[in-house]
Amino acid sequence: MSAILIAVAAFLCLTVAALGMMHVYPKLPARHRDDDTNTVVRLVANIFVVMASLVFGLMINSAKNTFEGIDDNVHSFATNLILLDRTLRTYGLAGNDARQYLIAYVEGAIANPERVNDALHEARNAGQQRLDTVGNSLAAIQPADRLHESLLVDARQLYSRIVEQRWMIVEQSEGAIPMPVIGMMIAWMTLIFASFGYRAPQNAVVIAMFVVSAMFIAASVYVVLDMDIPFSGAIQISDAPLHRALAEMKV
Lowest mean pLDDT among 7-21, 115-129, 144-158: 115-129
pLDDT at 3: 86
**Long-range contacts made by residues 81-88, C-beta under 8 angstroms, separation at least 24?**
81/106, 81/162, 81/242, 81/245, 81/249, 82/245, 82/248, 82/249, 83/158, 84/155, 84/158, 84/159, 84/162, 85/245, 85/248, 85/249, 87/151, 87/154, 87/155, 87/158, 88/155
Residue 168 maps to a domain? yes
Q: What's the pLDDT tens digit per position in 67-80?
A: 898 899 999 999 99
Residue 100 maps to a domain? yes
Residue 190 maps to a domain? yes
Residue 48 maps to a domain? yes
Lowest mean pLDDT among 10-24, 157-171, 191-205, 228-242: 228-242
Percent of the chain with pLDDT over 90: 55
Residue 178 maps to a domain? yes
If pLDDT is split at 50, 70 and 90, which confidence band does 7 have? very high
Residue 52 maps to a domain? yes
**Contact (CB, 8 A) for 230 and 65:** no
pTM for this prediction: 0.81
Residue 30 maps to a domain? no
**Contact (CB, 8 A) for 152 and 92:** no
**Contact (CB, 8 A) for 229 and 173:** yes
Give the integer Cα–Cα distance in Å for 153 and 141.
Answer: 11
Residue 28 maps to a domain? no
If pLDDT is split at 50, 70 and 90, which confidence band does 144 have? confident
**Of 230, 184, 161, which Cα lies nearest the Cα of 6?**
184
Question: Higher confidence at residue 233 or residue 218?
Answer: 218
85: containing domain: 3-23+35-249
Q: Based on the structure, what is the number of domains in the chain?
A: 1
Give the integer Cα–Cα distance in Å for 71 and 237.
Answer: 6
